[in-house]
């Protein structure tokens, strides 16, 4: 019997199996001994089917999740902003410090500006989704190109 038809039959059979495996999907995993395995079930014994894939919720735009430490820091900033706003709203007199460290009484206008700033900080740190929004801002700022200020010496 010629070898050519056997090879063709084997190739067609292999291609058919590959199409079935590709259509059904496969998980690749490595056991404790380092052997690689392929299966249509994951470690939770869920079959990889079209129905299973359609049930999974995948966000349209995948973004990094906000780290827990960052969320906790924003929660602390929120509490501080609320405390500060409450102090400024309830104070009869508010004092500031100059660069040298001397205390001085803020005018009514200066005190009103401090209250406005404190209220803006409450909105910034305490609004729904504040941690995710601030983290996104921080990541964008970190990825922005750095602009160097170049001082040109004037010729006289």
Q: Is the pLDDT of residue 23 over 60?
A: no
Location of structure tokens 């404790």? 32
Q: Are 100 and 56 in contact (CB under 8 A)?
A: no
pLDDT tens per residue across span 117-138 = 999 999 999 998 899 899 988 8
* pLDDT surpassing 70 at residue 21: no
Which residues fall within 8 angstroms of residue 78, CB to CB, at 6 or more apart?
A: 122, 125, 126, 130
Model confidence over 37-51: pLDDT tens digits?
A: 777 666 656 666 667
Asked whether residue 58 carries a pLDDT value surpassing 80, the answer given is no
* pLDDT for residue 17 is more than 60: no
Encoding tokens for residue 20? 């079935």
- Are residues 64 and 111 in contact, defined by beta-carbon separation less than 8 angstroms? no
């Amino acid at each position: 019997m010629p070898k050519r038809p056997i090879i063709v039959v084997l190739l067609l059979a292999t291609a058919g199996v590959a199409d079935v495996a590709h259509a059904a999907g496969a998980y690749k995993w490595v056991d404790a001994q380092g052997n690689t395995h392929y299966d249509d079930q994951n470690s939770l014994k869920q079959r990889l089917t079209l129905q299973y894939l359609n049930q999974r919720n995948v966000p349209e735009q995948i973004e990094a999740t906000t780290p827990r430490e960052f969320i906790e820091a924003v929660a602390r900033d929120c509490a501080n902003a609320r405390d500060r706003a409450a102090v400024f709203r309830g104070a009869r007199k508010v004092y500031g410090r100059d660069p040298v460290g001397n205390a001085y009484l803020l005018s009514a206008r200066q005190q009103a500006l401090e209250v406005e700033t404190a209220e803006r900080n409450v909105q910034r740190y305490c609004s729904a989704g504040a941690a995710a929004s601030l983290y996104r801002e921080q990541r964008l700022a970190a990825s922005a190109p750095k602009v160097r200020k170049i001082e040109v010496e004037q010729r006289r």
